[in-house]
A and B are shown apart, each in its own frame.
Chain A
Amino acid sequence: MSHIHLPDGVLPVWLWASGFVVVILIWMILLRVMKKEELTRRLPLLGMMAAVMVLGASVEIVPIAYHVNLTVMSGILLGPSLIFLATFVVNVILALFGHGGITVIGLNTLMFSIEGALGYFLFHLFWRLLRRLSLALFLATFLALTVATFSMIGVVSLGTPHYEELIHQEEGRGMIGFEFGKEKGGHQKEGVPEKEVNLKRFIAIILSLGFIGWVLEGIITALIARYIHRLRPDLLRLEKESR
């Protein structure tokens, strides 16, 4: 829910193009800042966690159109810089399966990265404050997903003039547009043209479905972390902070 499942051609070009520009800039900065040997050494781990996210995204909870992202879990295991690279790879692969458009890969990468990086920082903050693994992870996941969903809503709302344009385009022209264009013409005669884009309804639906998803993902992430902590506590790197 926290990323854009929009098809290609729905968002305005300037919006998705700026998504790509920002992602490329961040990539360039990260590749310069990170040590090459370190990056090469961790590439297989990055690939594996990206694969886990891809598999998580393929398990669909159809009634609410939700799937687990596992971005927060991956963010904790990979760290805030590698999660950015991983989410880009995940979005490319998901787009190749029609899971979100190809043109929105840049924007989706930003949403996913917000989720992963914020989840990482929030988890470490809550762990220091609460010292309870499950609770810290649940809260971190819930909040990270909430913020990512709101940023997704923000991005979608930036395209409002473009959606209006898409709705009104070809009114009264074309085979199908003609029939419905006539109906709309009736409304517009009365004066001020009616606003056709209803973002409030979209936001209400996304937030209500999203809430179920945030809780579900929060619980699943907390349970996964509990399992990992039981078997391989070293992966979560909590010892340093415990001292």
Chain B
Amino acid sequence: MIQLSYLDYLAVEGKSFLHRLSPKLKIIGMIFVLFAIVTVRNLPGLFLLYIFLLCLYFIARVPMRIFPLTLYPLIFAVLFIFVSQFQIRFILLVFLKVLCGSTGVVLLLATTPYPSIFSVLGKVLPSTFVMALFLTYRSVFILLTVLEETQHALYLRGGVQWKHPWRSLTNISNAFGHLIIKGIDASEKMYESMVLRGFKGKVHHRRE
């Protein structure tokens, strides 16, 4: 999640053809990828889709630093493998579906700024939901700053040590508690400043 600000930077600053493509088209493309993941059940088909997404990944010049994000969901997919009798075909099928989904999503995020995705979603989803998405997105950045400061403070004071698990757990929990309190304070201030700017339950997007 710490990668969020970097992903956002890539999406805004990138200059490839995929960055320049309209967000609407990219979301439609992602829907097609999802449709393929749901319907395609043979390994060569899914493998081809994965190769295609990887090609797009490199053409869009998305840095390799982000690539591990596409592999992250495999941690959870491993658990699901226990449903089967470890048939290689099933394992590969599940893994390829995971990889296609995560690569598609990372590609979308690394080439499209979040606000653009939300504004496209705003055309089909209720405004309350899109508003909540926007505020969550904004809040993640506010909280990341608080989290980084708290993390530094914790490490500088030796707050997390494997030798003292209980103390470490208490300190980590206190850090989360601190994050929540700071977050609630910030949300109150955010609401007041939004009302001052004429907020009436809807955010209007500038067309770019």
Contacts and interface: CB of A to CB of B under 8 A. Distances in A.
Interface of A: 5-10, 13, 27, 31, 36, 39-41, 43-52, 54-58, 60, 62, 65, 68, 70, 73, 77, 85-86, 88-90, 92-93, 95-103, 156, 163, 166-167, 169-170, 173-177, 180-181, 184, 196-199, 201-202, 205-206, 209, 219-220, 223-228, 231-232, 235
Contact of B83 (A85, A97, A202): A202
Contact of A48 (B78, B89, B90, B183): B183
A97 B136 contact: no
Contacts of A198: 82-85
Interface of B: 1-2, 34, 37-44, 69-70, 72-73, 75-80, 82-85, 87-90, 92-94, 97-98, 101-102, 105-106, 108-109, 117, 126, 128-129, 131-140, 142-144, 147, 169-170, 172-174, 176-181, 183-184, 186-188, 190-191, 194, 199-201
A74 to B, nearest CB: 9
Residue of A51, A92, A176, A205 contacting most chain B CB atoms (<10 Å)? A51
B82 A201 contact: yes
Contacts of A44: 135, 139, 187-188, 190-191, 194
A65 B186 contact: no
A98 B105 CA distance: 7
A101 B97 CA distance: 10
A172 to B, nearest CB: 11
B73 A98 contact: yes
Residue of B70, B83, B94, B183 contacting most chain A CB atoms (<10 Å)? B83
A224 B83 contact: no
B190 A8 contact: no
5 contacts: A7-B80, A9-B38, A40-B200, A65-B78, A205-B82
Contacts of B140: 51, 54-55, 93
